[in-house]
Amino acid sequence: MSDMKGMTALVTGGSRGIGRAICLELARRGASVAVNYAGSEAAARETADQCRALGVEAEIFQADVSDAAACEALARAVRERFGRVDILVNNAGITRDGLLMTAKEEDFDRVIATNLKGAYFCMKAVSRFMVRQKFGRIVSLSSVVGLRGNAGQTGYAASKAGIVGLTKAAAKELAGKNITVNAVAPGYIETDMTAVLPEKTKAAMTATIPMGRPGAAEDVARAVAFLAERESAYITGQVLCVDGGMAV
């Protein structure tokens, strides 16, 4: 396991679920953690407290990632507080499920704005600092749904497929600057996002997983942390599935 001492990580949507697990995994490896959240301030504070208990510095930062100006301000605030931003994890995400013919345009827009544009805005804002530092690790959360599609999730699938293109293009652009850009594509992970699904849907999803069980947020966090390590310097533009074999 690499030593992340001296590194600062910004994790969007770090208040709950996979984002919280990522904050804790990076903290465990020694990184200072900037915990971004949208509305759940108490949960974000809890994440930051748990990071501090692991012996690192941690701070919470409210920002709606679908707002370009808010992302710029977020990146600046994190850099002011910690002096640098070495790791960006684009984790903030939402679902607004519905069938193609009946789904609302505003739901499609909201999902794209948060999941795809949010990652784009944060990458744009943070990569400026990374270029000057001559070092950076960017990891964004895609999904098996972005690679394989899923009925009832056209907007979500489009946003997560978009993350793959965004990742590959940015990887090529930033490769010469010692900045790697990768994505992690989880399958079915037990968090608030999937807890609301009907039991029938959960059982149907589980049946498509060769390992026969959902994953935990920590499974995803370890993959993200691996890609964020200093030593993962020759891996860029990749999509790593963490899905119990679902997308194979």
Measured distance CA(232)–CA(186) in Å, rounded = 19
* 12 near ligand NAP, judged by CB under 6 A: yes
Determine the interface stretch with ligand NAP among 7-15, 122-130, 166-174, 232-240 (rule: CB under 6 A).
Answer: 7-15
Catalytic residues: 156
CB nearer to ligand NAP: pick between 68 and 131: 68
* 37 near ligand NAP, judged by CB under 6 A: yes
Q: Is the dihedral of CA 160, 165, 170, 171 positive or negative?
A: positive
Measured distance CA(179)–CA(71) in Å, rounded = 19
Q: Hey, what long-range contacts does 50-57 have (CB within 8 A, 24 or more apart)?
A: 50/20, 50/23, 50/24, 51/23, 51/24, 51/27, 54/24, 54/27, 54/28, 55/27, 56/27, 56/30, 56/31, 56/32, 57/32, 57/33, 57/82
Q: How far is the CB of 138 from ligand NAP (least distance, A)?
A: 14
CB nearer to ligand NAP: pick between 117 and 135: 117
Q: How far is the CB of 3 from ligand NAP (least distance, A)?
A: 26
User: Contact letters (x/-) for ligand NAP, 183-202, by CB under 6 A?
Assistant: ---x-xx-xxxx--------
Looking at the DSSP assignment, which residues form a beta bridge with residue 61? Answer: 36
Subset of residues 109 to 148 that bind ligand NAP, contact rule: CB under 6 A:
114-115, 141, 143
Site residues (vs ligand NAP, CB under 6 A):
12-13, 15-19, 36-40, 43, 64-66, 91-94, 114-115, 141, 143, 186, 188-189, 191-194
